[in-house]
Amino acid sequence: MTRTFDPIELEVLWQSLIATVNEQARALQRAAFSPIVREAGDLANAVFDRRGRMVAQAVTGTPGHINSLARAASAILEEYPTDSLVEGDVLITNDPYKTAGQLLDVTVLCPVFRNGRVIAFFGSTIHHTDVGGYGIGAGARDVFEEGIWIPIVRLMIAGERNHDAWKFILSNVRQPDHMAGDLHAQMASGEVGAQRLRALCDRHDLDDIEDLADEIITRSEAATRASIRELPAGTYRASAVLDLADGSEIDIVCAVTVDPEAGEITVDYEGSSGASPYGINVVKNYTHAYTTFTVRSVLNPDLPNNHGSLAPIKVEAPVGSIVNAVSPQPCTARHVVGMFLPNALLKALAQIRPDQAMAEGSGAVWTMQVSGNHDDGRPFITAMFTYAGGVGARAAKPGLSACSYPTGVAAVPIEVVEASAPIRFLRKELRVGSGGAGAQVGGLGQTIEFTVDTERAWQLNAVTSRLAHAPEGIFGGEQGGAGAFTVNGEPVRTQARVTLQPGDHVRLDLPGGGGYGAPVPVAATGSSNDASQESTS
């Protein structure tokens, strides 16, 4: 018999689910070895029903991870159906084309058993420090150079290690202790979620969460479709240009079609650039993740993010293009394009809801990874560390400065980075004047300078963007400042890993966001745009 829920009970159960996945995420962050997970929150946690539908997500992490995880669970369960699992099984994969788009992102799915039957799954995706191969940069020639590919397999079998899987994984990474530690952290967080969910079922006399999941997902989908039906029908087109360090350019072209009768929105990326020889290609899951995040941000951001609210948003992309990569196209640095997608998409959505629009921002975070040898010969490799530029201005607010929109990842504190390798930071400050002028000014970028204290040559994997084409303003707003990436004052013109020498000096000038609306004359306000930026930064 189908269980029904009155509004009060449903709200209590919903908030309990959110608290459960939030506790799962906190347990993962506390136990993780990787600084990018522990300090920056580069992770995703969610609870799924027996059918692999995402019911609730933790209120942390990144849209690229969480919305990719929402699609990955069903792909995993296609190979290991729910009823084939036994208590103590744990599933794992980092297949980039079925999960989050890069081999460094490892997904672990933990079944929850109650009374001898699977009632749910807790999933997590985190960025591991190292999976062998090329590292975090974009220089690998294909996906097989980028690291170890873990197919969908059991990591644990009936509560015991799958020794062949563990041996295979840990034999192919540079830091097996870190890899093992992070895998155990993912499994432990799944167990925390399972314990809390079983207690929730006991308190509310639930055999499983299927009826609850149906109620939550159905309501979320209905509310999303209702929001779409309020929009004018039509197709709205836009594009944006992303330039890379080597001088190449990527065109992102999108068409947003609103169908109020069906209560659906379709985003089509036909016309976007073909695949890149660099590892910046974006798999369909990751394109879908940032597309749905952007549409929902404008449409109705207060609705829960789950299977139901994502269902009415359809994404189409040419197979084999920069936004729908296929094997063996390299994709480790897929974030540089994936996080740029909202810049084009928001232009199209601005034609529908200008008050919710936003000027172009810096786009993807700039990622760094340093490796080499200490003076005594011991190797070192940093986890990925990231920096953000300025966000575009909005209708009623200036852009945020040094903020990692559209991702939710924070900057790893420089003290943590310095503790992981002989890196020494020389400067980290906002770029005053880098935000575009407008009725609302764009957010500021930032400047970071560092060197590596070693007597040996060292390597830098750096993924940067927006060095020539500055973020555009909107509705008369002016563009922000373009970025710059230099070593010893000379521009770096490659996406590949570079070898640097002792004493070399790296400088990163991240772009500022564009302005919103025509600038207000100085005489009318008595202040300059620069002054406004300083007061809001």
Instruction: Check whether 498 has a pLDDT greater than 50.
Output: yes
Which pLDDT value is given to residue 129?
Answer: 87
- Residues 6 or more apart whose CB falls under 8 angstroms from that of 134 comprise 140, 145, 146, 147, 279, 332, 461, 497
Instruction: Check whether 181 has a pLDDT greater than 90.
Output: yes
Instruction: Check whether 530 has a pLDDT greater than 90.
Output: no
In the chain, % of residues over pLDDT 90: 90
Query: Taking the CA of residue 246 as centre, how many other CA atoms within 13 Å lie in the half-sphere pointing to its CB?
Result: 15
Tens digit of pLDDT for each residue in 343-372? 999 999 999 999 999 999 999 999 999 999
pTM: 0.94
* Distance of alpha carbon 318 from alpha carbon 66, whole angstroms: 23
Which pLDDT value is given to residue 523?
Answer: 63
Tens digit of pLDDT for each residue in 206-215? 999 999 999 9
Among 519, 515, 534, 532, which Cα is nearest to 357's? 515
Sketch the domain layout of the chain as residue ranges.
Answer: 7-220, 358-537
* Distance of alpha carbon 385 from alpha carbon 47, whole angstroms: 28
Tokens representing 243 are 């330039």
* Distance of alpha carbon 455 from alpha carbon 444, whole angstroms: 36
Q: What would the DSSP string read from start to end of 149-172?
A: ---SEEEEETTEE-HHHHHHHHTT
Instruction: Check whether 524 has a pLDDT greater than 60.
Output: no
What average pLDDT does this structure show over 274-291?
Answer: 97
Strand pairing partners for 237?
A: 255
* Distance of alpha carbon 350 from alpha carbon 245, whole angstroms: 29
Q: Distance between alpha carbon 437 and the CA centroid of its chain, in Å?
A: 29
Which pLDDT value is given to residue 60?
Answer: 86
What average pLDDT does this structure show over 275-281?
Answer: 95
What average pLDDT does this structure show over 55-71?
Answer: 94
pLDDT band at 518 (very low <50, low <70, confident <90, very high): very high
What average pLDDT does this structure show over 388-411?
Answer: 95
Which pLDDT value is given to residue 535?
Answer: 33
- Residues 6 or more apart whose CB falls under 8 angstroms from that of 383 comprise 34, 35, 36, 129, 369, 412, 420
What average pLDDT does this structure show over 479-495?
Answer: 96
What average pLDDT does this structure show over 17-32?
Answer: 97
Cβ(97)–Cβ(328) below 8 Å: no
What does R_g of the chain's alpha carbons equal in angstroms? 23
* Distance of alpha carbon 270 from alpha carbon 172, whole angstroms: 38
Cβ(102)–Cβ(140) below 8 Å: no
Cβ(14)–Cβ(171) below 8 Å: no
pLDDT band at 528 (very low <50, low <70, confident <90, very high): very low
Instruction: Check whether 532 has a pLDDT greater than 80.
Output: no
Instruction: Check whether 225 has a pLDDT greater than 60.
Output: yes
pLDDT band at 61 (very low <50, low <70, confident <90, very high): confident
In the chain, % of residues over pLDDT 70: 97
Tokens representing 259 are 């169908």
Task: Look up tokens 């390798």; give the residue.
Answer: 421
Which pLDDT value is given to residue 529?
Answer: 45
Task: Look up tokens 């499994």; give the residue.
Answer: 187
Tokens representing 499 are 């070898």
What residue type is assigned to position 230 of the chain? Answer: E
* Distance of alpha carbon 19 from alpha carbon 453, whole angstroms: 44
Residue 433: how many CB atoms within 10 A of its CB? 17
Among 341, 306, 266, 329, which Cα is nearest to 140's? 329
Tokens representing 388 are 């953000």
* Distance of alpha carbon 472 from alpha carbon 486, whole angstroms: 23
- Mean residue pLDDT of the chain comes to 94
Tokens representing 119 are 């009632």
